[in-house]
C-alpha cells in the first residue's frame, strides 16, 4: 500500500472536521431526497430507477465543488508549506508520490459524493405519498453511483490534478472546474433534459452529439431512455449499453490519459529549480537597483 496515501488517510481519519463534513453532506442529501419535486414525466414515480438515475446525475455536479475545494487544500499543501522544495531529497519516487496524492484526492471526492447519496437514499425512504410507489431496491442507487459518481469523480479529479501539477495556480484550478460546469450546461441544452424543460426540442442528431460530448453522462442517459414507456421508467434501469456505455468508456479513457500526462509532466527537480531561480532573482534585484 502507498505510504503517502496511508499517511494522508490516517491524518484525515483522526481529524474531527472530516466527520463534520460527512455529517453535513448526509443531511444535505436527506433534504434533497425528502424534498425534491422535479418531475421527469407524468406518471413516473420519484423513487423509480429512472428518476433516481436522473437525480444522481444532477447531484454529481456537486463533485466539481468537492474536487475544487480538496484540490486547493490537498494538492497545494506542499507548495503552501514550501515542502515541495525538498521533495527531491526524500527516498520517494515520482510515481509513488503522484499515486499517493491522487488516490487520497480521488477518494475524498468520491466519498463526499457517496455520503451525499447515502443522505439522498435516506431522505427518499423517509418520504411518503402517491408519488413514491416502488419498493426499496439498493441497486437503483448503486448503479448511478458508479456510472455518474465514480466515473465523474475520476474525470474531474484527473483533470484538476493535471492542471494543479502543470500550471500550479489555484485560480486556474477554480477556472478549470467552472469550465467543466459551463461546458456541461451548454451540452445539456441539446439533450432534451427534463432539467431544461423550457429549452427548444432538439433533433436526434443534436441529442447524439450531446451524448458523445457530455462529460457527466446525463445526455447519453436520456438518449438511451428516450424509447422507454412510463412503466419501463418506473421499474427498469437504463441499460449500460449504446451511447451511455460509449460515453462512459470514452471519458474513463480520457481520465486515464490525464493521469498519464500528469505523470509525464511532473518533476521534482523542475519545481526545485524554478523556485530556487525565482528566489535568487528576488534577492538580486534590490542589489542591482
pLDDT at 283: 45
Confidence band of 145 (pLDDT split at 50, 70, 90): very high
The segment with the largest mean pLDDT, out of 84-93, 247-256, 264-273, is 247-256
pLDDT at 287: 47
From residue 237, give the alpha-carbon distance in Å to each of 54, 119, 144.
11, 21, 9
pLDDT at 193: 61
Domain of 72, in residue numbers: 15-35+42-276
Count of domains for the chain: 1
pLDDT at 91: 62
As a whole number, the mean pLDDT across the chain is 83
Nearest residue to 70 via CA among 1, 2, 156:
156
Asked whether 158 and 71 are in contact (CB, 8 A), the reply is no
Residues 6+ apart with CB under 8 A from 216: 57, 60, 61, 148, 152, 184
pLDDT at 200: 56
pLDDT in tens, 186-209: 877 766 665 554 555 667 787 788
Does residue 10 form part of some domain?
no
SS3 content of the chain, % helix, strand, coil (to 5): 75, 0, 25
pLDDT at 275 exceeding the cut of 60: no
Does residue 184 form part of some domain?
yes
Distance (Å, rounded) from C-alpha 129 to C-alpha 24? Answer: 26
Asked whether 243 and 56 are in contact (CB, 8 A), the reply is no
Does residue 117 form part of some domain?
yes
Does residue 289 form part of some domain?
no
pLDDT in tens, 96-129: 888 889 999 999 999 999 999 999 999 988 887 7
pLDDT in tens, 13-22: 888 888 999 9
Asked whether 223 and 211 are in contact (CB, 8 A), the reply is yes
Confidence band of 272 (pLDDT split at 50, 70, 90): very low
Nearest residue to 28 via CA among 88, 115, 108, 155:
115
Does residue 5 form part of some domain?
no
Does residue 190 form part of some domain?
yes
pLDDT at 44: 84
Confidence band of 156 (pLDDT split at 50, 70, 90): very high
The burial class, CB within 10 Å (0-12 / 13-18 / 19+), for 179 is middle
pTM of the full structure: 0.85
- Could you say which DSSP state residue 195 is in? G
Cell of 59: 447531484
Nearest residue to 115 via CA among 20, 252, 13:
20
The burial class, CB within 10 Å (0-12 / 13-18 / 19+), for 277 is exposed
251 compared with 95, residue with greater pLDDT: 251
- Could you say which DSSP state residue 148 is in? I
pLDDT at 289: 46
Does residue 262 form part of some domain?
yes
pLDDT at 89: 59
pLDDT in tens, 44-99: 888 889 989 989 998 999 999 999 999 998 888 877 676 666 655 566 777 888 88
Nearest residue to 259 via CA among 149, 180, 163:
163
Provide the greatest CA pair distance for the chain. Answer: 79
The distance from CA 237 to its chain's CA centroid, rounded to whole angstroms, is: 22
Amino acid at each position: 500500500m502507498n505510504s503517502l496515501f496511508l499517511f494522508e488517510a490516517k491524518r484525515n481519519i483522526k481529524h474531527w472536521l472530516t466527520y463534520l463534513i460527512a455529517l453535513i453532506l448526509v443531511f444535505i442529501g436527506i433534504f434533497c431526497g425528502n424534498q425534491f419535486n422535479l418531475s421527469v414525466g407524468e406518471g413516473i414515480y420519484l423513487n423509480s430507477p429512472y428518476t433516481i438515475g436522473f437525480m444522481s446525475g444532477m447531484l454529481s455536479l456537486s463533485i466539481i465543488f468537492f474536487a475544487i475545494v480538496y484540490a486547493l487544500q490537498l494538492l497545494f499543501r506542499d507548495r503552501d508549506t514550501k515542502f515541495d522544495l525538498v521533495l527531491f531529497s526524500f527516498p520517494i519516487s515520482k510515481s509513488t508520490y503522484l499515486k499517493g496524492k491522487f488516490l487520497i484526492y480521488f477518494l475524498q471526492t468520491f466519498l463526499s459524493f457517496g455520503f451525499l447519496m447515502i443522505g439522498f437514499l435516506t431522505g427518499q425512504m423517509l418520504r411518503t405519498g402517491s408519488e413514491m410507489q416502488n419498493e426499496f431496491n439498493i441497486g437503483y442507487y448503486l448503479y448511478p453511483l458508479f456510472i455518474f459518481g465514480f466515473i465523474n469523480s475520476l474525470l474531474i479529479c484527473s483533470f484538476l490534478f493535471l492542471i494543479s501539477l502543470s500550471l500550479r495556480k489555484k485560480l486556474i484550478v477554480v477556472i478549470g472546474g467552472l469550465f467543466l460546469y459551463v461546458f456541461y450546461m451548454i451540452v445539456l441544452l441539446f439533450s432534451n433534459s427534463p432539467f431544461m424543460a423550457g429549452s427548444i426540442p432538439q433533433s436526434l442528431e443534436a441529442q447524439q452529439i450531446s451524448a458523445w460530448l457530455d462529460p457527466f453522462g446525463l445526455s447519453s442517459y436520456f438518449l438511451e431512455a428516450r424509447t422507454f414507456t412510463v412503466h419501463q421508467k418506473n421499474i427498469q434501469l437504463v441499460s449500460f449499453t449504446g451511447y451511455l456505455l460509449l460515453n462512459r468508456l470514452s471519458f474513463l479513457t480520457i481520465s486515464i490519459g490525464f493521469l498519464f500526462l500528469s505523470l509525464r509532466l511532473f518533476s521534482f527537480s523542475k519545481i526545485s529549480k524554478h523556485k530556487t531561480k525565482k528566489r535568487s532573482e528576488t534577492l538580486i534585484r534590490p542589489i542591482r537597483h
